[in-house]
């Protein structure tokens, strides 16, 4: 009888030690992870964004997104735009005529709309439904114009992959994580000082 | 036909009567009819003649353009016009659209985990677990596109430890911790029917074959190696390897590169014959959970009462996770086993040291994945003339105007970091091998068929087929037979056949 009681007591003690270790482990893991979360303050989500100052408009954004139609689209900072008649973001390097003929346009999908504002100014707006984020216009605008066209991850489309597959392919390491409450790195006229 | 100036949009209108004056506000005022001045478009440039003055301006502009064409600077070649009566459109910035609120995500994960644990341990319902598996596959897989998932969250947590600037979002932290906490008490119920990667393999495990024990044990080490690699690359800020080579996320998104789709399809095809190949041999989170599950408090048990040793559970487990009862061994053999164990424990530090040394040798192949080191390599090769031509990355680097020496210095520092990290990775692999050998040498005593706590994913097939369980549930009248697989009375085979058809709810 006493032998059985001994066994019972030992088992009881083992269970107690086991439980204590488990609870300690759980608290340890929970505490460590919670500590990591609050260490930098908020534990807010991050999203991917392109730093336009590093972007070289190589065209990988159009082809490397996990979405068939890339989440990256051209964005226009109208305040920076020179409203040129001959927009090098809009027109092919050697346009036959300065009109919206497809043969004159740089954009492969005709996603840029050119509207007359006043002489000699034209306004260029991006039709996001057509834009594929190839960056051809961005390259043109950066090379000869003000650089008011730039690529951005459009967050209404982005899937927020843990590792952005465009970021892997980006040759200029222009992708970085930004806090989700400031999800854009816009080019602004004021920002350039 | 006259060509327009690409710089100003100004088009020379030679021979027109009512020529308008076009103003390029960035450059000098010119009257129409004057040849357009360009510095940046040679094709146009060559076709117009220049005055001396124009040439000088051209040179000045060329210099200005070279100065300003650094991509880091925003160039204002044409000052934006001040419109009197035109409202500039606003650049739209749609806020991030998360498919689900993080609170909903975490709550659903906790709910699914609780439900899986309840179904596996309390209700012992294979059918319930199966339905939950499908629900998880649909929600966490196809609706939430498999992101965020606990498997990948290892890397976020690691990055948060090593990168001061990165704080892991609380939802990701919860995704990392919750399954571990549940496993600590209930076993791998997360793997059973919450993880979408496990779920998709659970559904295709149709004709499982028995993997020889030595293959199973050896391949099982891979997941620890993969875990080490995943931690190494996220700690060094190189890559999220586990996400990059997630074989099934492409199916969940219905979009991926062809290579990844083929990779995933291979896993599914293999998975039809070898149960859950990713979970068993590659999944790094599974490796973590295997360690934790060993110490779980309430793990799935096969027979609710006394085991009749019918071996149906062993037969039906597609994951080779059922351990048979041990046979008594002779004293001499036990003594030999003890000696072997002592030797292996003594050798463990050696394994680890060897691993560390070998790991430091891996510096070059490991660091090749880091974009900065790759770039430095490329620039070096281009400069020494070992490769011809440039690539986008090297062009982009040259445009920044940084000195290559600066890049080399950075690359060397990173390389040294990879040396240390590689050493730790090697030590980890050494530790894993040593622990595996020690673990295999420890003799355990089992009186009946039990699930291997680390390998068992709590899918519930074993007790679903167990005659003792079936008798207890009242599905059959009495427990047939009493010995291991006795003669014609061993109903279980028929039973099993009948059950197999019932399996899909």
* Pairing mode, strands A112-118 and B450-451: unpaired
Cα distances (angstroms) measured from residue A167 to each of A11, A72, A161, B179: 55, 11, 11, 29
Task: Give dist(CA B179, CA B452) in Å, integer.
Answer: 19
DSSP for A81-150, please give it.
----SS-TTTB-SS-SSSS--GGGBS-TT--EEEEEEETTEEEEEE-TTT-----HHHHHHHHHS---EE
Q: What is the pLDDT of residue B153?
A: 94
Q: What is the pLDDT of residue B331?
A: 87
Q: What is the pLDDT of residue B504?
A: 41
A77-123, pLDDT tens digit by residue?
Answer: 999 999 999 999 999 988 888 888 888 999 999 999 999 998 889 99
Residue B497's Cβ-side half-sphere holds a number of Cα atoms within 13 Å equal to: 4
Task: Give dist(CA B133, CA B368) in Å, integer.
Answer: 39
Contact A123, A115 (CB under 8 A): yes
As for the ipTM of the complex, it is 0.87
Query: Hey, are the CB atoms on B167 and A83 less than 8 Å from each other?
Result: no
Task: Give dist(CA B111, CA B106) in Å, integer.
Answer: 8
Question: CB under 8 Å to B408, separation ≥6 — which residues?
Answer: B376, B380
Break chain A down into helix, strand, coil percent, rounded to 5. Answer: 35, 20, 50
Tell me which residue in A66, A158, A186 faces B253 most closely, judged by beta carbons. A66
Residue closest to A155 by CA, chosen among A45, A42, A48, A43 = A48
Q: pLDDT at residue B17 above 50?
A: no
Q: What is the pLDDT of residue B8?
A: 46
Q: pLDDT at residue B219 above 90?
A: yes
Query: Hey, are the CB atoms on A40 and B20 less than 8 Å from each other?
Result: no
Q: pLDDT at residue B393 above 80?
A: yes
Q: pLDDT at residue A188 above 90?
A: no
Q: pLDDT at residue B35 above 80?
A: no
Contact A158, A69 (CB under 8 A): no
Comparison of pLDDT for B289 and B494, the residue scoring more: B289
Task: Give dist(CA B359, CA B345) in Å, integer.
Answer: 21
Q: Which residue of A has its CA nearest to B90?
A: A78
Question: CB under 8 Å to B15, separation ≥6 — which residues?
Answer: none
Residue closest to A153 by CA, chosen among A142, A165, A141, A144 = A165
A and B: number of Cβ contacts within 8 A: 234
User: In this structure, what DSSP letter does residue B369 have?
Assistant: T
Q: Which of A26-30, B61-65, B137-141 has the lowest mean pLDDT?
A: B61-65
Q: What is the pLDDT of residue B45?
A: 40
Region B228-255 average pLDDT: 92
Q: pLDDT at residue B51 above 60?
A: no
Task: Give dist(CA A136, CA B359) in Å, integer.
Answer: 44
A144-165, pLDDT tens digit by residue?
Answer: 899 999 999 999 999 888 899 9
Region B462-490 average pLDDT: 72
Residue closest to B242 by CA, chosen among B167, B172, B151, B176 = B151
Region B180-205 average pLDDT: 94
Q: Encoding tokens for residue A175?
A: 């992708």
Contact B494, B481 (CB under 8 A): no
Q: pLDDT at residue B59 above 90?
A: no
Q: Encoding tokens for residue B198?
A: 């496990």
Contact A29, B363 (CB under 8 A): no
Break chain B down into helix, strand, coil percent, rounded to 5. Answer: 60, 0, 40
Tell me which residue in A22, A88, A191 faces B184 most closely, judged by beta carbons. A22
Give the pLDDT band (50/70/90) at residue B57.
low
B62-92, pLDDT tens digit by residue?
Answer: 554 544 444 444 567 888 888 888 889 988 8
Residue closest to B504 by CA, chosen among B195, B115, B131, B190 = B131
Assign residue A93 a region (left: φ > 0; alpha: ψ between -120 and 50; beta: otherwise).
alpha
Mean pLDDT, chain B, whole residue set: 82
Give the pLDDT band (50/70/90) at residue B165.
confident
Query: Hey, are the CB atoms on B6 and A53 less than 8 Å from each other?
Result: no
Q: At what angle do helices B213-235 and B404-441 cross, to 10 degrees?
A: 150
Give the pLDDT band (50/70/90) at residue B370.
very high
Q: pLDDT at residue B104 above 80?
A: yes
Query: Hey, are the CB atoms on A33 and B253 less than 8 Å from each other?
Result: no
Q: How far is B73 from chain A (nearest CA, A)?
A: 7
Tell me which residue in A30, A91, A165 faces B181 most closely, judged by beta carbons. A30
Q: What is the pLDDT of residue B481?
A: 61
Task: Give dist(CA B54, CA B51) in Å, integer.
Answer: 5
Q: How far is B116 from chain A (nearest CA, A)?
A: 19
Query: Hey, are the CB atoms on A86 and B93 less than 8 Å from each other?
Result: no
Q: Which of A95-109, B98-112, B123-137, B467-481 has the lowest mean pLDDT?
A: B467-481
Tell me which residue in A40, A146, A184 faces B167 most closely, judged by beta carbons. A40
Q: Encoding tokens for residue A64?
A: 């490397």
Q: What is the pLDDT of residue A41?
A: 61
Q: pLDDT at residue A1 above 70?
A: no
Task: Give the residue from A72, A120, A173 with the most B CB atoms within 10 Å of its CB, the best one to mutate.
Answer: A120
Contact B256, B247 (CB under 8 A): no
Tell me which residue in A121, A154, A162 faces B243 most closely, judged by beta carbons. A162
A28-85, pLDDT tens digit by residue?
Answer: 999 988 888 877 666 788 899 999 999 999 999 999 998 889 999 999 999 999 999 9
Contact B187, B118 (CB under 8 A): no
Q: What is the pLDDT of residue B268?
A: 95
């Amino acid at each position: 009888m006493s032998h059985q009681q001994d066994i019972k007591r030992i088992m009881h003690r083992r269970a107690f030690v086991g439980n204590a270790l488990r609870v300690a482990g759980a608290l340890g893991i929970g505490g460590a992870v919670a500590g990591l979360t609050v260490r930098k303050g908020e534990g807010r989500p991050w999203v991917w964004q392109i730093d336009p100052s590093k972007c070289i408009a190589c065209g990988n954004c159009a082809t490397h997104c996990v979405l068939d139609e890339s989440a990256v689209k051209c964005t226009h900072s109208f305040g920076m735009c020179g409203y040129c008649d001959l927009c090098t973001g809009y027109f092919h390097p050697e346009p036959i005529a300065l009109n919206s003929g497809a043969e004159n346009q740089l954009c492969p999908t005709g996603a840029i709309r050119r509207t007359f504002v006043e002489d000699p100014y034209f306004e260029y707006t991006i039709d996001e439904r057509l834009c594929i984020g190839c960056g051809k216009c961005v390259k043109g605008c950066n090379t000869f114009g003000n650089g008011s066209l730039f690529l951005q991850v459009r967050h209404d489309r982005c899937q927020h992959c843990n590792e952005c597959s465009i970021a892997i392919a980006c040759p200029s390491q222009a992708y970085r994580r930004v806090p989700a409450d400031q999800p854009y790195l816009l080019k602004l006229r004021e920002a350039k000082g | 036909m006259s060509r327009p100036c690409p710089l100003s949009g100004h088009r020379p209108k030679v021979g027109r009567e009512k020529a308008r004056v076009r103003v390029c506000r960035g450059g000098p005022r010119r009257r129409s009819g004057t040849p357009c001045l360009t510095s940046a478009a040679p094709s146009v440039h060559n076709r117009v003649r220049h005055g001396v003055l124009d040439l000088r301006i051209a040179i000045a502009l060329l210099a200005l353009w070279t100065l300003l064409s650094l991509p880091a600077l925003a160039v204002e070649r044409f000052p934006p016009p001040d419109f009197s009566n035109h409202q500039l459109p606003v650049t739209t910035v749609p806020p991030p659209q998360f498919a689900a609120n993080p609170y909903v995500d975490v709550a659903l994960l906790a709910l699914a985990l609780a439900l899986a644990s309840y179904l596996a341990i309390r209700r012992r319902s294979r059918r319930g677990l199966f339905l939950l598996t499908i629900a998880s596959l649909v929600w966490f897989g196809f609706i939430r596109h498999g992101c965020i998932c606990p498997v990948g969250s290892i890397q976020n947590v690691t990055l948060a430890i090593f990168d001061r600037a990165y704080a892991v979002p609380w939802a990701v932290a919860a995704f990392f911790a919750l399954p571990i906490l549940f496993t600590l008490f209930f076993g791998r119920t997360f793997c059973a029917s919450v993880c979408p990667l496990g779920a998709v393999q659970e559904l295709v495990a149709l004709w499982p074959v028995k993997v020889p024990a030595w293959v199973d044990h050896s391949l099982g080490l891979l997941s620890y190696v993969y875990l080490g690699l995943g931690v190494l690359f996220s700690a060094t800020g190189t890559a999220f390897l586990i996400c990059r080579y997630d074989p099934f996320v492409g199916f969940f998104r219905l979009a991926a590169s062809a290579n990844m789709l083929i990779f995933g399809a291979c896993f599914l095809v293999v998975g039809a014959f070898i149960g859950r190949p990713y979970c068993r041999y590659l999944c790094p989170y599974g490796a973590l959970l295997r360690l934790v599950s060993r110490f779980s408090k309430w793990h799935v048990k096969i027979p609710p009462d006394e085991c009749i040793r019918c071996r149906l559970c062993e037969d039906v487990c597609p994951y080779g996770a059922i351990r048979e009862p041990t046979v008594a061994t002779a004293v001499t053999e036990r003594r030999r086993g003890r000696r072997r164990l002592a030797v292996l424990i003594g050798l463990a530090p050696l394994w680890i040291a060897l691993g560390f040394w070998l790991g430091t040798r891996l510096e070059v192949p490991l660091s090749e994945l880091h974009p900065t080191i790759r770039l430095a390599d490329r620039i070096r090769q281009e400069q020494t003339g070992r490769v011809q031509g440039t690539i986008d990355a090297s062009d982009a680097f040259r445009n920044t105007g940084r000195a290559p020496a600066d890049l080399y210095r950075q690359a060397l520092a990173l390389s040294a970091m990879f040396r240390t990290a590689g050493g730790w990775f090697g030590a980890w692999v050494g530790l894993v091998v040593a622990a595996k050998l020690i673990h295999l040498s420890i003799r355990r005593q089992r009186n009946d068929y039990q699930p291997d706590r680390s390998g068992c994913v709590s899918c519930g097939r074993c007790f679903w087929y167990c005659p003792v369980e079936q008798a207890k549930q009242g599905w059959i009248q009495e427990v047939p037979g009493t010995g291991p697989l006795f003669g014609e009375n061993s109903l279980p085979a028929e039973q099993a056949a009948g059950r197999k058809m019932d399996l899909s709810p």
